[in-house]
Chains A and B, each alone.
Chain A
Amino acid sequence: MTGAAGNGPAGFGHPVAGAVGGHAFTVPVLRLGDTLLVTLQGELHDGMAEQLQHDITDRIAHTRVTGVVIDISGVEIVDSFLGRVLAEIAAGAGLLAARTVLAGMRPAVAITLVELGLNLPGLLTALDVERAMELLAAGEPEGGGSW
């Protein structure tokens, strides 16, 4: 296990040197049993997104978690960029045999994404983090993202 991928909320509040120019915060990636919990807040800048993608795949590879929950209840704007990042994170996690669930999307965000034509087909979705954990615990794909 290396650097930012340590136990607990690694990197929370600590700038990762050189990783994100100008932005002092990285997105915390928490491990809860077999699941990684990522909570996005506010805006996600390009550099942070790249760092996050890297962090998540790194953590999955080193800890052998089977699921990733991305909580976006604190995100008010999801644009095509963030949509693509989320899809890429899910695809990357999928290659490492972990399922990704997007949790807590706000109604306004859902409408915007649909109007943009971003249906995020490959992603599992859940109403909130609790439901997302249930979904992952249930094993086989079920609920919102099953079809």
Chain B
Amino acid sequence: MSVAEENADQEPAAQQVSAFLERRREQIAQRWADSALFRTVFTVARDEAVEAGRSVTAALAAVAASGGLEDIRASGFEAVRDQLGRMAASRARTGIDPDGIAREVAALREPVTELLRAEFEDPDAPEAQRCVVALTVLMGTLRLVVMETTVSAGEELIARQREQLHEVATPVIKLWESTVAVPLIGTLDSARSQVVMESLLDAIVAERARYAILDITGVPTVDSLVAQHLMKTVAAARLMGAECIVSGIRPAIAQTIVHLGIDLGTVLTRSSLADALAYALSRQGVAISPVTAADAGAR
């Protein structure tokens, strides 16, 4: 059978499959409710599983009726995408990998195919074969839709965690009266430097800080982009009336900065956080001195 013929044949077969799905919706839903996928997702009530099966069957029928058997963007799927996503997510939470979910969805095909075969007097007749093929294609598409929802749910999770990581990774610490510090750890990209800038400026207002220390000990590399982010942060802090000190510049990084020809001339730098704090304290007229014997005796 040529490709053109196959496509021509698919059209009536798809309509037949659609009619079959509508007709046998209840039976299919009942059978699906006993399948591994539905049974494990809807552990509490079988009725819910049956209800979910019904809505998925209805969606498949709608897709088949529209003729787009292989269209994962078919409007019919939109209605159940949410539900499929929830089911896939609930399976994923139990620790099953995408491969396992795919297999469970594939297992939904068998009961439906059996029902479809039973519809025909002669299951080997060309017409029956074509309907089975159409149904197989449709179930394949369903599997794709489920996988797609699974993957996008995973992506959402990753995006959310990335956001949380930003917040977690940029604490602003009050070191002394009107002195705050941000220990930067990890690569400084634009999104992160934005978060750093915002939280630092908010902290400057909240703590009424005069000095802000950006410690880059934990930043693995400093390229021109990172340097630019640093300078922007320093400039913003200055506009808020705080003096910004960049500390924790390792020798290797100092070399890199010089080699790249980055001009950090407008930025106050210190080699360690301790030096930066000492500078901030001395500017505020605070001196730290060792406790003398006389002091110790007075206690």
Chains A and B form a bound pair: yes
Which B residues between 216 and 262 are near A, CB-CB below 8 angstroms? 232-233, 235-243
Q: Is A7 interfacial (CB 8 A cutoff)?
A: no
Q: What is the total of A-B residue contacts with beta carbons within 8 Å? A: 75
Name the segment of A60-68, A89-97, A118-126 touching the other chain: A118-126
Query: Whose C-beta in chain A lies nearest to the C-beta of B202?
Result: A107
B-chain residues with CB within 8 Å of residue A142 when the two chains form the complex = 283
Chain A interface, number of residues (Cβ within 8 angstroms): 25
B268 at the interface (CB under 8 A from A): yes
Residues of A within 8 A of B235 (CB): 114, 119
A143 near B243 with CB under 8 A, answer yes
> Are A111 and B197 in contact, with the CB atoms below 8 A?
yes
List which A84-138 residues lie within 8 A (CB) of chain B: 102-103, 105, 107, 109-111, 113-115, 119-121, 125-128, 131-132
Question: Do A147 and B266 touch across chains, with their CB atoms under 8 A apart?
Answer: yes
Q: How many residues of B contact A (CB 8 A)?
A: 24
Most buried by B among A113, A115, A144, A146: A144
Choose from B204, B232, B241, B268 the contact partner of A103 (Cβ within 8 Å): B241
Chain B interface main SS type: helix
Q: B205 at interface (Cβ–Cβ under 8 A)?
A: yes
Q: Is B198 in contact with chain A by the CB < 8 A criterion?
A: yes
Cβ contact within 8 Å between A110 and B240:
yes
Pair B241/A126 contact, Cβ less than 8 Å? yes
A114 and B241 in contact (CB under 8 A), knowing A127-B204, A127-B205, A147-B266? Answer: no
How far, in angstroms, from A121 to B243 measured CA to CA in the complex?
Answer: 13
Q: Does B208 sit at the interface, judged by CB under 8 A?
A: yes
Are A107 and B198 closer than 8 Å at their CB atoms?
yes
Which chain A positions have C-beta within 8 A of B209? 127
In contact, B266 and A110 (Cβ under 8 angstroms):
no
Supply 14 further A-B pairs (C-beta < 8 A) apart from A114-B236, A127-B208. Answer: A109-B239, A110-B201, A111-B197, A111-B198, A111-B201, A113-B236, A114-B239, A120-B239, A143-B241, A143-B243, A144-B210, A144-B239, A144-B241, A147-B266
B residues contacting A by CB (< 8 A) are: 194, 197-198, 201-202, 204-205, 208-210, 232-233, 235-243, 266, 268, 283
A-B contact pairs, 22 of them (CB 8 A): A103-B241, A105-B239, A107-B201, A107-B204, A107-B236, A111-B194, A111-B201, A113-B236, A113-B239, A114-B232, A114-B236, A119-B238, A125-B240, A125-B241, A126-B241, A127-B208, A143-B210, A143-B241, A144-B237, A144-B239, A147-B266, A147-B268
